[in-house]
Amino acid sequence: MFVSDLRHFLDLPDDAPGPARKMADHLSNIVRAATAVPAGASWVSALPCRRRPERRPCPGRMSLCRLDVPARIEWHCTTCDDDGVISGWEGSHFDLRAPGSAAAPPSAVEIPVSDEVLAALRDLLLLDAACERLVYRARASEAGAVLTADEAGLEELVGFVAAEANHEPNRRRQQRLDHAYEVLSDALEAMSPSPPREH
């Protein structure tokens, strides 16, 4: 079990070794996901496992449980034996807890997305806290991942994706964002009620 204090991974120096940076990214994503939903219950997030047994990506997902008293996040891979506990995350910029409940709104629907689309959404730089919660509370599914959002939340996320895609100089990343935009726009269109027909 990997027991960690997130404060030790914040503000790593520029010359920090690559493995330390990868671990920092892994732990910070776990904290984002665990704090994007209400505390207390275990759930399987869409976050992939970090391990590469026999040089192949582990197909597992991160199963998470957050306890607020005492403050700790427990995580483990659904496939391999990778697991750990994180402390020291409260109040960090990865802490996405919302005032009141962080649960999805009652009018939210499930939107299937691929792992590639979700990875592009996690890489967005300009998300507000509400959209970050929407992205990081994505759950694992047999086909990839499932976002849970209402129409207003999805519309806001689509706007962030469009804005970042329009200003992205890297062609490959822009293509990933454009694809994510198309997928989310189609889902948003499906959620919008059709206009009444004229007689």
Residue 196 has a pLDDT of 47
Question: Where among 97, 119, 152 does a domain terminate?
Answer: 97
Range of the domain at 78: 1-97
75 and 115: one domain?
no
138 and 157: one domain?
yes
42 and 61: one domain?
yes
78 and 141: one domain?
no
163 and 182: one domain?
yes
Question: Where among 79, 97, 115 does a domain terminate?
Answer: 97
Rounded Cα–Cα distance for residues 135 and 156 (Å): 12
74 and 121: one domain?
no
32 and 82: one domain?
yes
Q: Is the pTM of this model over 0.85?
A: yes
135-168 pLDDT, tens digit each: 999 999 988 899 999 999 999 999 999 999 999 9
| Strands lying side by side in the sheet with 71-77 | 2-5, 83-87, 71-77, 61-68, 43-48, 139-141, 144-149, 109-113
105-142 pLDDT, tens digit each: 777 899 999 999 999 999 998 899 999 999 999 999 98
What total number of domains does the chain contain? Answer: 2
Residue 98 has a pLDDT of 84
112 and 87: one domain?
no
At residue 13, does pLDDT exceed 90? no
Contacts of 75 (CB under 8 A, 6+ apart): 30, 34, 62, 63, 64, 65, 83, 84, 85, 86
| H-type alpha helices, the chain | 18-35, 115-122, 129-136, 151-166, 171-191
91 and 128: one domain?
no
143 and 58: one domain?
no
119 and 177: one domain?
yes
At residue 78, does pLDDT exceed 70? yes
69 and 9: one domain?
yes
Question: Where among 97, 117, 141 does a domain terminate?
Answer: 97
